[in-house]
Chain A
Amino acid sequence: MKPEGTRDYLPPEAEVRASFRERLEALFSRWGYRPVELSALEPYDATHPNADRAFKLVDKTGEVLMLRSEFTTALARVLLPRASEGPFRLRYAGKLWLREAAAEPGRLREFTQVGVELVGISSPAADAELVELAWEALVAVGLEAAVIEIGLPALVRDLLEATGLPADVAERLRRAVDRKAVPELAEALSAFGVEGKLREAILALPDLYGGREVLQEAKRHALSDRARLDLEWLEAVASALPPALPLMFDLGMARRYDYYSGLTFRAYTPDFGLPLLGGGRYDGALLPMAAGFAVGLERVLEAAKAPPSRRGVEVVAADVDLARRLRAEGRVVELAHTDDRAALLALAKRRGARYLAVEGKLVEVTSCRDTN
């Protein structure tokens, strides 16, 4: 029996997965991000953002362990003692597990992320670096039609805090903002006596999405000084990005993940309903200064319509010595362990190989007489 929401991958699917992963890793390396490897087992921690949703195991000591459910918190924990030695540019790739996720297209319980963290710098320029890198990651896997969307959950948090309402009510309002449920939001604001300019500003949040004009629009509302500084930060990020980068804003984006202190971003592509990547800045919560993002490998694979061409077997070899030489030249060679011409041809056909290596010679498959 296969556990729900898990999958095994065989060629050619596994090859396509590997090639996507390699492209992303190579790109991150070119930007100076160095690889880390993290343990899949973590001690159970009730304050972990996924504490309820993670898979749990019991250790031999009786202590509860969790299976890794996200890289950011895991990496932050490792880096915390060395945070002052930064900046660190680090990349990761690997599997994550979530017990409670619904298993659907693009939503597995065992899934793979490839991502980066930039630790020890906090500036609009650093945020812009990450957004640009995220965009390049999408281009690297052939998703040029995608769009990056930037949000600022701190702005929502700030306005909701200004109401002075208790946490559970504020949480209800946050949910309504995040779902753009304007009718519920208006009703709740009336019910809890939030009036005037503050009401107006909170009610405007769900509709503050679109192009760069959204930032100007937001500034017209009654905002705290902190919120104004946050918006200026966002403007600085936007102006540091290449103009060709397709960028949107949604200032009503307010997920519950509350370790994000600054901007958050995700990416969408036409005819695919789920975000392809997600990230943001989380200064203070896990590390003094840090930001990063992760690409959902299964998501981008699902969204990329045409899989990238992969390098298959080029030569099927009966001659072991020749095979060694060809490999040294960089060709992909599979040994057939037979001299039978018909068997060699059959294998070459199955593999889509162009050549046979027999008796010291490289023979083109098409030149062989079909013996079948």
Chain B
Amino acid sequence: MQGYELTIALPKGRMFEEAYRALGRAGLSLPERGAAREMLHRGAAVAVLELRNADVPTYVDLGIADLGVVGKDVLAEAGRDLFEPVDLGFGACRLSLIRKPGDSGPIRRVASKYPRVTERWLREKGIAADVVKLHGNVELAVLVGLADAVVDVVETGTTLKQAGLVEVEVIMKSTARLVVNRSAMKLKRERIRALIQRLRHG
């Protein structure tokens, strides 16, 4: 955004807090957080956009934000051409194939919030299955027979257990990444390079 030295896109929720802390520790003077419903936090030199996590790669790719923090899972799903120079370590989770216990029949239909990652994995595995894009409560799809497997985020596995489902295979592991716009990385080199160094070694 014009008028700010840096514009940062962060996903709302828990990762927002952790990213705020990590960037603060790395010496970035972030704006005071405004009201809870605020989407745009304006500081003296830095502006922070609070977004749905899947929108973070879009804002950074199109150069509205110079950099952002987002999970590797979301980044893989977005398929956008960004720099991802730092693994921030927090927000650890995995994308896994989930089924009903004892279900070993062929997979013909998979439901997921991550259709792109799912399709790529199915192709690599040589499984000919349809992918159904869902927006939430993905586990339900396998319980009620919409799909015979789902691909979803697993953090601790508690939710899965409660739903009476099992994690069959880990598709990818994910942690939060610093993502940087291709143009900003170069034009705001001094600032961003120093930030990357501190985040890597901090």
Tell me whether A and B are bound partners: yes
Question: In this assembly, does B53 line the interface, its C-beta being within 8 Å of a C-beta of chain A?
Answer: no
Q: Counting chain A CB atoms within 10 Å of each CB, which of B1, B87, B181, B182 scores highest?
A: B182
In chain A, residues 176-201, which have Cβ atoms closer than 8 Å to a Cβ of chain B? 179-184
| Chain B residues, Cβ within 8 Å of A183 | 86-87
With contact pairs A179-B83, A181-B84, A183-B87 given, residues A273 and B64 touching in the complex (Cβ less than 8 Å): yes
CB distance from A295 to the nearest CB of B (A): 16
Q: Which of A190-239 contact B (CB under 8 A)?
A: 206, 209-210
Interface size class of B (residues with CB under 8 A): 20 to 34
Which of A62-70, A264-272, A356-364 forms contacts with chain B?
Answer: A264-272
Min CB gap A305→B, angstroms: 9
A182 nearest in chain B by CB position: B85
B84 x A268 contact (CB < 8 A): no
**Among A147, A210, A274: residue with most chain B CB under 10 A:** A274
Query: B81 contacts which chain A residues (CB < 8 A)?
Result: 179
Encode A128-143 as 1/0 by CB contact (under 8 A) with B: 0000000000000000
Are B183 and A209 interface neighbours, CB within 8 A?
no
How does the 8 Å CB contact mask read for B1-27 relative to A, with 1 for contact and 0 for none? 110000000000000000000000000
Q: How far is the CA of A106 from the CA of B1 in the complex (A)?
A: 16
Are B86 and A147 in touch, CB under 8 angstroms?
no
> A206, B85: Cβ atoms under 8 Å?
yes
B185 within 8 A of A: yes
Task: State whether the Cβ of B115 lies closer than 8 Å to any Cβ in chain A.
Answer: no
Which of A104, A106, A147, A181 is within 8 Å of B186, CB to CB? A147
Checking B2, B84, B87, B187 against A179 with a beta-carbon cut-off of 8 angstroms, the contacting residue is B84
B61 within 8 A of A: yes
A248 adjacent to chain B (CB < 8 Å): yes
Q: Would you call B91 an interface residue if the criterion is a C-beta within 8 Å of the partner chain's C-beta atoms? A: no
A84-112 to B contact mask, C-beta < 8 Å, 1/0: 00000000000000000000111000000
Residue ID in chain B nearest A305 by CB atoms? B2
Q: List B139-163 residues whose CB lies under 8 Å from chain A.
A: none
- Candidates A104, A184, A206, A275; contact of B183 at CB < 8 Å: A275
Interface residue? B63 (CB, 8 A): yes
Contact A268–B83 (Cβ < 8 Å): no
Across-interface contacts of B195 in A (CB, < 8 A): none
- Interface contact tally, CB-CB below 8 A: 60
A273–B181 touching, CB < 8 Å: yes
Could you tell me if A180 and B187 are in contact, using CB atoms closer than 8 angstroms? no
Contact with A along B167-202 (1 / 0, CB 8 A): 000000000000011111111010001000000100
Instruction: Tell me whether A273 and B85 are in contact (CB under 8 A).
Output: no
Looking at the assembled complex, report how far the CB atom of B110 sits from the nearest CB atom of chain A, in whole angstroms: 23
Provide the residues of chain A in CB contact with B64, threshold 8 Å. 273
Least CB distance, A46 to chain B, in whole angstroms: 20
The answer on a CB contact under 8 Å between B86 and A273 is: no
Q: Hey, which chain A residues are within 8 Å of B181, CB to CB? A: 273
B186 close to A273 (CB less than 8 A): no
**B84 and A209 within 8 A (CB):** no
B186 touches A182 (CB 8 A): no
Query: Are A181 and B85 closer than 8 Å at their CB atoms?
Result: yes
| Bound CA span A179–B200, Å | 16
* CA–CA, A210 and B189, complex, Å: 8
Return the chain B residue nearest A181 by Cβ: B84
- Whole-angstrom CA separation of A183 from B75 in the bound complex: 14
Q: Flag whether B39 is at the interface (Cβ < 8 A).
A: no
Minimum Cβ distance to chain B for residue A250 (Å): 7
Task: List the B side residues contacting A147 at CB < 8 Å.
Answer: 186-187
Residue in B81, B84, B193 with the greatest tally of chain A CB atoms within 10 Å: B84
Known contacts A268-B186, A272-B63, A273-B181; can you find 19 more A-B pairs with CB under 8 A?
Answer: A147-B187, A179-B81, A179-B82, A179-B84, A181-B83, A181-B84, A181-B85, A182-B85, A182-B86, A183-B87, A184-B84, A209-B185, A268-B187, A270-B187, A272-B183, A273-B182, A274-B62, A275-B182, A275-B183
Interface of A toward B, CB cutoff 8 Å: 104-106, 147, 149, 179-184, 206, 209-210, 248, 250, 268-275
Give B contacts to A, CB under 8 Å: 1-2, 60-64, 81-87, 180-187, 189, 193, 200
List 11 A–B pairs whose Cβ atoms lie within 8 Å, in order of A's numbering: A104-B62, A147-B187, A179-B83, A181-B84, A183-B86, A209-B185, A248-B189, A271-B1, A273-B62, A274-B62, A275-B182
Q: Nearest 5 CB-CB pairs, A to B?
A: A273-B63, A183-B87, A268-B183, A180-B83, A180-B85
